[in-house]
């Protein structure tokens, strides 16, 4: 089962290597990993998806906590969360195909970001399956190039992570009661 972890780490050189190396060393399989800045300059945030059963997922969490630079790990797999992936897709679009491709893009609320004589580049943000869906329908026209960022995720609701009271919750599934849903 695919698990999604949000990992807060100290923003220091080499921390990404430590996290990646951990997954390699323990033979856990990373499906996607993104890393970026957060509201705090000293903290970076990673979203990692990995295929793991419940026990393995706990061990991944516990092992992440063993890295001295890891501040907080949240397994948000079973939590209400906003999950987004961004893709850029370059599609072959000659004169007659062009309008079809544009139509499909608009159905998926994707944007055209570059136009060339025989291709269009489409940018789409959304949950992974939405992007998979767009890719599926574009494929017959000829996908010339594609890149995806891998997902970033955030729990819904006003609760923000409490980095002071963490590590011990490695095995607990956080119960979130004040959830607000948005579109």
Partner 1 sequence: MTKTGAQILWECLERERVSHVFGYPGGAILPAYDALKHSKIHHVLVRHEQGATHMADGYARAGGEVGVAVATSGPGATNMVTGIATAMLDSSPIVCITGQVGSKLIGSDAFQETDITGVTLPITKHNYLVTHASELARTIREAFYVARSGRPGPVLVDITKDAQQTSCEFDWEAAKPQLPGYRPDLSPDAKEYEQALELIQKAKRPVILAGHGIIVSGAMQDVRTFAERTGIPVALTLLGIGAFPASHPLNLGMMGMHGEAWVNHTIQEADLLLAFGMRFDDRVTGNLKTYAPNARKIHVEIDPAEINKNVKVDVALVGDLREVLHELLPHVNTVDRSEWLDFIDQLKGDAAVRDIQNLPDNGHLYAAHVINDLWRETRDADTIVVTDVGQHQMWEAQYYKHDRARSLITSGGLGTMGFALPAAIGAKVARPEAEVWAIVGDGGFQMTMAELATVVQENLKVNIAIINNGFLGMVRQWQEFFYERNYAATPLLNPDFVKLGEAYGIRSVAVTQRSEVVPAVQAARRHDGPVLINFKVEQEDTVYPMVAAGASLHEMIRRPSPIVETAADE
H-only helix segments in the chain = 15-25, 54-66, 95-107, 128-138
Residue number, 7 or 120, with CB nearest to partner 1: 7
Question: What's the DSSP call for residue 128?
Answer: H
Smallest distance, partner 1 to C-beta of residue 125, A? 31
Residue number, 162 or 182, with CB nearest to partner 1: 162
Burial label for 59, CB within 10 Å (0-12, 13-18, 19+), is middle
What is the rounded CA–CA span in Å between residue 125 and residue 2? 20
* Binding site residues, partner 1, CB under 8 A: 9-10, 13-14, 17-18, 21, 25, 55, 58-59, 62-63, 65-72, 163, 166-168, 170-171
* Per-residue CA distances from 162 to 12, 14, 44, 72 (Å): 20, 24, 15, 8
* Per-residue CA distances from 114 to 102, 108, 132, 142 (Å): 12, 17, 20, 16
How would you classify residue 81: left for phi > 0, otherwise alpha for psi between -120 and 50, otherwise beta? beta
Smallest distance, partner 1 to C-beta of residue 173, A? 15
Residue number, 82 or 167, with CB nearest to partner 1: 167
Residue number, 14 or 117, with CB nearest to partner 1: 14
Smallest distance, partner 1 to C-beta of residue 156, A? 25
Smallest distance, partner 1 to C-beta of residue 51, A? 18
Residue number, 20 or 127, with CB nearest to partner 1: 20
Smallest distance, partner 1 to C-beta of residue 18, A? 6
């Amino acid at each position: 089962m695919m698990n999604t972890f949000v990992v807060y780490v100290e923003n220091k050189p080499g921390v990404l290597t430590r996290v990646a190396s951990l997954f390699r060393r323990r033979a856990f399989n990373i499906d996607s990993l993104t890393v970026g800045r957060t509201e705090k300059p000293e903290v970076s945030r990673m979203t990692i998806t990995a295929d793991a059963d419940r026990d393995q997922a706990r061990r991944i969490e516990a092992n992440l906590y063993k890295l001295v630079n890891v501040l907080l790990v949240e397994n948000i797999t079973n939590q209400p969360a906003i999950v987004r992936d961004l893709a850029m897709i370059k599609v072959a679009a000659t004169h007659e195909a062009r309008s079809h491709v544009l139509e499909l893009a608009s159905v998926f609320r994707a944007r055209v970001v570059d136009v060339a004589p025989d291709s269009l580049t489409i940018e789409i943000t959304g949950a992974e399956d939405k992007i998979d869906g767009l890719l599926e329908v574009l494929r017959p026209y000829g996908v010339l190039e594609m890149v995806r960022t891998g997902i970033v995720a955030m729990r819904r609701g006003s609760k923000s992570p409490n980095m002071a009271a963490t590590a011990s919750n490695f095995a607990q599934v956080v119960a979130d009661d004040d959830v607000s849903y948005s579109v």
